[in-house]
């Protein structure tokens, strides 16, 4: 993660915000007081919140673990050729 001083950030606010939004890379802004903050796009923030929700939800995490097991054992649902065509948009 790139870092910049709060003064430099303030002087080039538009440019830094554009970069954060376009590149999907957060920016750490350092303050003299030591209380830094991070600038992140709204899209990235929402994605991070969804990830945290899944990681904190024991039931969803268990479903993921169970799905991985059946996938590796090839014992999960095997779609028919019609289902595959629908999934793949054929």
Q: Structural domain boundaries of the chain?
A: 2-40, 43-76
- CATH number of the structural domain 2-40: 3.40.1620.10
Q: Is the pLDDT of residue 8 over 90?
A: yes
Tell me the whole-structure pTM to 2 decimals.
0.67
**Which residue pairs from 3-10 have beta carbons closer than 8 angstroms and sit at least 24 positions apart in sequence?**
3/27, 3/28, 3/29, 3/30, 3/36, 4/28, 4/29, 4/30, 5/29, 5/30, 6/30, 6/31, 6/32, 9/39
From 1, 9, 52, 47, select the one nearest 25 (Cα to Cα). Answer: 1
Q: Is the pLDDT of residue 90 over 80?
A: no
Q: 13: pLDDT confidence band, cut at 50, 70 and 90?
A: very high
> What is the tens place of the pLDDT at every residue in 26-67?
999 999 988 999 999 999 999 999 999 999 999 999 999 999
């Amino acid at each position: 993660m790139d870092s910049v001083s709060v003064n430099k950030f303030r002087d080039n606010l538009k440019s830094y915000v554009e970069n954060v939004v376009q590149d999907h890379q957060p920016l750490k802004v350092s303050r003299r007081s030591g209380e830094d903050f991070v600038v992140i796009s709204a899209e990235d923030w929402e994605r991070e919140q969804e990830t945290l929700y899944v990681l904190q939800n024991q039931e969803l995490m268990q479903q993921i673990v169970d799905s991985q097991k059946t996938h590796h054992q090839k014992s999960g649902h095997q779609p028919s050729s019609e289902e595959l065509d629908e999934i793949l948009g054929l």
